[in-house]
Amino acid sequence: MNAGSSDGDTLPDGLTAEERIARARWRSRRGLLELELLLTPFARDRLPLLSAAMRADYDRLLGHDDLDVHAWLLDREATPPEVREIVAEIRRHLELG
C-alpha cells in the first residue's frame, strides 16, 4: 500500500487510514487547552496529507505528556529525536519555527 494512500485499505492494526486519521484528530483534543489549540488545526489541515510514517510519528507524539509536547512545540525544551521531525512539521504549519 502507498504510504500516503487513503483508499480505505485496512492497515495491520485493523484500522483503515481514514480511521487512524480520525482517531488521531480525536486524540489531538488535550487536557491542556493551550496544546489543543496548537494540535487541532494541524490535525485538521495536515494529517490527511502526511505519509503513514509521519502519521505514526504524530501518534507517538500524542503519547507524550501534554506539558512536554507543549514545551517542544514552543521550543522551550529540547525535542527528543523520535518526534523531532513531526514537531518541526507542526511548527512549520503553525508558523512557529
| C-alpha cell belonging to residue 87 | 514537531
Asked if residue 13 belongs to a domain, the reply is no
pLDDT digits (tens, 9 = 90+) for 34-89: 989 999 999 999 999 999 899 999 999 999 999 999 999 999 999 999 999 999 99
49: in domain: yes
- Predicted TM-score (pTM) of the model is 0.77
pLDDT at 96: 62
Residue 17, domain member (yes or no): no
Domain of 82, in residue numbers: 33-94
**Under 8 Å CB-to-CB from 38, ≥6 apart: which residues?**
70, 73, 90, 94, 96
Q: Would residue 6 count as lying in a domain?
A: no
23 domain residue, yes or no: no
Residue 16 belongs to a domain: no
In a domain, 64, yes or no: yes
- Specify the number of domains making up the chain: 1
The answer to whether position 46 is within a domain reads yes
